[in-house]
Structure 1
Amino acid sequence: MTGRPTEARMVTETRMARTLIDSGPVLLDLDDAGVARLRLNRPEASNGMDVPLLTGLHHAVMRIHGTPGVRAVLLSGEGPHFCAGGDVKTFAAKGADLPAYLREATSWLQNAVSALMRLEAPVVAAVHGFAAGGGGFGLVCAADLVIAAESARFLAGATRVGMAPDAGVSVTLTRLVGLRKAMEIVLTNPVLTAPDALELGLITRVVADDAVYEEGLALARTLAAGAPRANAAAKRLLWDGLGSTVEARLPEEARTVAELSATADAREGLAAVIEHRAPVFGGG
């Protein structure tokens, strides 16, 4: 099982895609549907996160921020695992220098996750193998929608190696599954199956192992066909609402709805309903 599509599908998609980052620990391209395909690329290390990968991830996400035409993002991992978390072999080799190394690594991880959550385009994670630690588990919690293979496994893992949650997990996990369940996941480190994760609300959908990339891409393309400004506004409202009361968010919701009502996409959406047809959103 890998995070790549079938060979035939890959050939077809390559002809349709514009490469933005073609080498290194993180790869990025943009297809003609407006889907930015962001891939962790350290398969030999189970996409374990070290400083080069984390700086590459931050750079790639910022590249997405600055690239016109991105309407959705598909996040996946090359090789047998989505992301096994921090690169423990690199960490162990640092010896007494580990605290300084982890301060740098954590800073890059925080910047990358924050930038990912602040993307206007919705982010779909396609997860196979293990999603563990602040890297894998944290990215799952930071994605907007998550498609998981039947054999995928999820592990918080930080306290198991004497660490603490990072990548925003101390906030996102609690909001996704509730305080008591988040405590159990973080403190006892169960290995969650994909059905477990689905039942808890950690992920969106479980699919067959050999379909996870294609299903993730299909969902991302469905989102890309939507109204981009409306998707961006809805995503922002939901993430920003994590730390707010309902009453505090009502004025911002009202302002956003009024603003969107003046867009061409809103007029197209209303016309499509009246005319009993599918809308065609141009992004205006």
Structure 2
Amino acid sequence: MQDHAPPAPEALIAEGPVLVHYADGIAEIELNRPEAANGFSLELGRRLHEAIMTVHGDRRVRAVILSGRGRIFCAGGDIKEFFSKGEDLPNFLRMATAYLQTCVSGLTNLEVPVVAKIQGYATGGAGMGLTCAADIAICGASTRFMAGATRVGMAPDGGATATLARLVGFRRAMDIVLTNRFVEAEEAERIGLVTRRVPDEDLDAEVRKLARQLADGAPRAQSATKRLMWNGLARGFDASLPDEARETSQLSGTADSLEGLKAVIEKRKPVFEGR
């Protein structure tokens, strides 16, 4: 990993319920409704999808940080907005759920690693779904997680019914989504809901340090690895082997692969350029 002076961030999306800033290979997608605990509204869903597509189309980006402004990462759906729809709520939720599903799918399908920075609370379909859709999730020591859907007479969404059990196991997942109990940061780390927990005051620095490490990695190798790992969740062992063999063979002929091998021999840090 190379030493980098802190660059001035460039605002790719500078206002609205979702912000995107870019600096030196790293894009940060930030939920920006702190006054509403970053609750997932229909407008936030539209803008989050726009943000993900903006990052996807920017070839400079080598790693993504997903964060929420303020004290809370994401407290799920915007309950006040939902309640205000009255009898039209089913139609409204079809749209909101479609956007949330598109967003979590977009995160898993980004070619670059996504690191979630989670503080305060990650609850509901949006909070849990976005947590589970990140490639790496780091939370503060005081963070709490809760599914919450059945508590308001709904079912989990945000892809959590597909991802949560694969992360923590079927029995634990059923306990979490049916009881709506809080999962504390220590348990979240232990069962695999998050990658690790760090002291609250160290969260931002630890996430940015990891994002820097990923941004300095071999982009084509990381993209292939991410794709293979996510695809492997839904496929059997035997079905995954041909994909692994094909990607390994193709990557071995890249300039980055040769640079990596040479760096090991020369006992130095590699410099990857995505070639």
TM over 0.5: yes
Deviation at 1:211, TM superposition (A): 1.5
State yes or no: 1:170 paired with 2:161. Answer: yes
1:1-284 equivalent positions in 2, closer than 5 A: 16-32=8-24, 34-284=25-275
In structure 2, distance between residues paired with 1:139 and 1:91: 19
- The 3-state SS of whatever aligns with 2:272 is coil
1:78 aligned partner, one-letter code? R
How far has the Cα of 1:104 moved from its partner?
A: 0.5
Give the Cα separation in 2 of the matches to 1:184 and 1:93: 30
Counterparts of 1:266 and 1:222, CA distance in 2: 17
Q: CA deviation at 1:67?
A: 0.7
The separation in 2 between residues aligned to 1:78 and 1:219, in whole angstroms, is 19
Following superposition, the deviation at residue 152 of structure 1 comes to 0.4
Cα distance, 1:241 vs structure 2: 0.6
AA in 2 matched with 1:275 = E
Unpaired runs of 5+ residues, structure 2, are none
Cα distance in 2, alignment partners of residues 93 and 128 from structure 1: 28
Q: Cα distance, 1:276 vs. partner?
A: 0.9
Shift in Å, 1:205: 1.2
Superposition deviation, residue 270 in structure 1: 0.3
Q: What is the rounded CA distance, in whole Å, between the counterparts of 1:213 and 1:76 in structure 2?
A: 10
Q: Give, in angstroms, the shift of residue 135 of structure 1.
A: 0.8
Q: What amino acid is aligned across from residue 190 of structure 2 in structure 1? A: E
**Which whole-Å CA distance do the structure 1 matches of 2:206 and 2:150 have between them?**
33
Q: CA deviation at 1:145?
A: 0.3
**CA offsets, 1:100-132, max 9 Å, x none?**
110010011111111111000000000000000
The SS at the match of 1:67 is: coil
What amino acid does structure 1 have at the position aligned with 2:90?
P
TM-score, normalised relative to structure 1: 0.94
List alignment gaps of at least 5 residues for structure 1: 1-11
The alignment's TM-score, normalised by the length of structure 2, stands at 0.97
For residue 210 of structure 1, give the secondary structure of its aligned residue in structure 2: helix
Q: Give the Cα–Cα distance (whole angstroms) in 2 for the partners of residues 123 and 220 of structure 1.
A: 8
**CA–CA distance in 1 between the matches of 2:127 and 2:159?**
12
The alpha-carbon deviation at position 70 of structure 1 amounts to 0.6
Runs of 4+ in 1 over 2 A off after TM superposition: none
Whole-Å Cα distance in 2 between the matches of residues 213 and 95 of structure 1? Answer: 40
> Aligned-pair RMSD on alpha carbons?
1.0
Q: Supply the distance in 2 between the matched residues of 1:136 and 1:31 (Cα, whole angstroms).
A: 26
Identity among equivalent pairs (%): 55
Letter in 1 for 2:184: T
Cα displacement (A) at 1:68: 1.3
Quote the Cα distance in structure 1 between the aligned partners of 2:270 and 2:14: 34
SS at match of 1:16: coil
Hey, what's the Cα distance between the residues in 2 that align with 1:147 and 1:181?
20
1:260 and 1:19 mapped to 2: Cα distance? 33
